Structure 1
Amino acid sequence: MFGKLPTLPFVVPLGIVLFVVLLWLLHRRGRLTVARSAVAAATALYSGGIVANTVFPIYLAWPSSGGSELLPLNLVPVVDYEIDDAVQNILVFVPLGILVSLMLARPTWLRVIAICAGISLGIEVAQFLTARLAHGGHVADVNDWISNSVGGVLGWALSAACMRQPVLARWIGRFRWPTTQSGVRPSRSA
């Protein structure tokens, strides 16, 4: 009914730039390996997908409602929040918790939740701004922020549980960005 801004011309370059920056960081630190490059690629793909699904669609025009527009913002937790939305938002951020755990020197639950909550807040702010300034199709919602943060912590918990298994820890250690001499840095829970 209304034209939409195409997603791919924005998301694909974003993913490519992020991938190149992450590879450059690994190279600069002398940590560039195929396994760590795979983490960089997964992070770039994941980021592009998140932006494509949370910031877009952006419509080229809205119909004139003739009245006052509602603010695209929900700051009331739990009220009218569907369980399906909560589960979806939790599951979408589990991979981020895992990726952040692979990239941090000491991935404590507090550090991972701070990063995941910060990224989720950035998404909610982008949704609010695109809805207000660019005909975005999403509402910024505190419930999404809470659910995303929970998903990030669950990703950290899954990663931490795997790192407690010696065989998995050795294998996962190849993908971790910061490592000790043996290649595996033990995960500490704050």
Structure 2
Amino acid sequence: MSTNPFGEVPVLPVAIPLGVALFVLLIAVLARRKKLTWARAVTALVVAVYAAGIFANTIFPIYLTPVDSGEPWTPKLALVPFYDYEVDDALMNIAVFAPLGVLIPLLVRRASWAKVVLIAVSISLGIEFLQLAAQAFFAGGHIADVNDLMWNTVGGVVGYGVYLVALRIPGLSALVRLFRWHESPASDSALGAPGVGGPTPSRSPAKTDAS
């Protein structure tokens, strides 16, 4: 008797190569831009591991030979906000997407609240569409849920808030700068983060005697 009657696809043989491929791509991008440092390589590694983990936990399980019910496929959607949604699920989604809110400003040139929200929404929407595709073609085990979209986005915002708080701590702000892919964006200057692109005091021009 088969030990895998429904053809469940193992997670690690898919997620690990995905993470490795993404890491190699990110390192190649850094090397091409002549910005490869050990700290930025660490950021690339964290991004690759995080992306592979998100993929593994939101798309799997996948079954290649599920039982055919004989019914036409109907998308499993939850489109009513807050309906039949547990607080624990919301907190978990916030916790899972909070690292994204920290990683975004480490990767992009000029981070902002709007940019973080847009990227978090886009990634979360991509996950929900992948879950629909997994339902349709591989009998995926997840339901596309508008609540997941909402709380994933909240998680990204929370993570960005943590990042901005870190920029206000003198010793920590210098450490954050090491792992960032771009130098001193304008948002740091607006925050006045010490040692990280803060405003430089200007000198008043010398007065000349016109008489």
> Is the shorter-chain TM-score for this pair beyond 0.5, marking a shared fold?
yes
Q: Offset of 1:117 from its aligned partner?
A: 1.1
Judge conservation of contact 1:120–1:145 (CA < 8 Å) in 2. yes
- Tell me how far apart the structure 2 counterparts of residues 77 and 47 of structure 1 sit (CA, whole Å): 26
- Unmatched 5+ stretches in structure 2: 192-211
Deviates most, 59-68 or 156-165: 59-68
The amino acid across from 2:83 in the alignment is V
- Tell me how far apart the structure 2 counterparts of residues 69 and 174 of structure 1 sit (CA, whole Å): 50
SS at match of 2:57: helix
Structure with larger Rg: 2
The amino acid across from 1:112 in the alignment is V
User: Cα RMSD between the aligned structures?
Assistant: 1.9
1:47 equivalent in alignment to 2:67: no
Q: 2:173 aligns with which of 169, 182, 187?
A: 169
Judge conservation of contact 1:74–1:139 (CA < 8 Å) in 2. yes
**1:7 equivalent in structure 2:** 11
- Unmatched 5+ stretches in structure 1: none
1:64 equivalent in alignment to 2:68: yes
**1:89 equivalent in structure 2:** 93
Greater relative CO (CA pairs within 8 A, separation 6+)? 1
- Tell me how far apart the structure 2 counterparts of residues 179 and 109 of structure 1 sit (CA, whole Å): 19
SS at match of 2:35: coil
Query: CA 1:188–1:119 in structure 2 vs 1: closer, same or farther (change >3 Å)?
Result: farther
Query: CA 1:187–1:86 in structure 2 vs 1: closer, same or farther (change >3 Å)?
Result: farther
1:138 equivalent in alignment to 2:142: yes
Aligned pair count? 187
Per-residue CA deviation, residues 1-39 of structure 1 (Å, 9 max, x unaligned), is 633111122111111111011111111222110000000
Query: CA 1:45–1:184 in structure 2 vs 1: closer, same or farther (change >3 Å)?
Result: farther
Report the TM-score, using the length of structure 1 for normalisation. Answer: 0.91
Query: CA 1:187–1:103 in structure 2 vs 1: closer, same or farther (change >3 Å)?
Result: farther
Query: CA 1:143–1:13 in structure 2 vs 1: closer, same or farther (change >3 Å)?
Result: same
Percent identical among aligned pairs is 45
Report the TM-score, using the length of structure 2 for normalisation. Answer: 0.83
Query: CA 1:74–1:57 in structure 2 vs 1: closer, same or farther (change >3 Å)?
Result: same
**1:154 equivalent in structure 2:** 158
Deviates most, 44-53 or 132-141: 132-141
Matches within 5 A, 1:103-142: 103-142=107-146
Q: Offset of 1:62 from its aligned partner?
A: 2.5
Q: Offset of 1:68 from its aligned partner?
A: 5.4
Judge conservation of contact 1:107–1:188 (CA < 8 Å) in 2. no
Judge conservation of contact 1:58–1:136 (CA < 8 Å) in 2. yes
Judge conservation of contact 1:107–1:156 (CA < 8 Å) in 2. no
- Tell me how far apart the structure 1 counterparts of residues 91 and 124 of structure 2 sit (CA, whole Å): 15
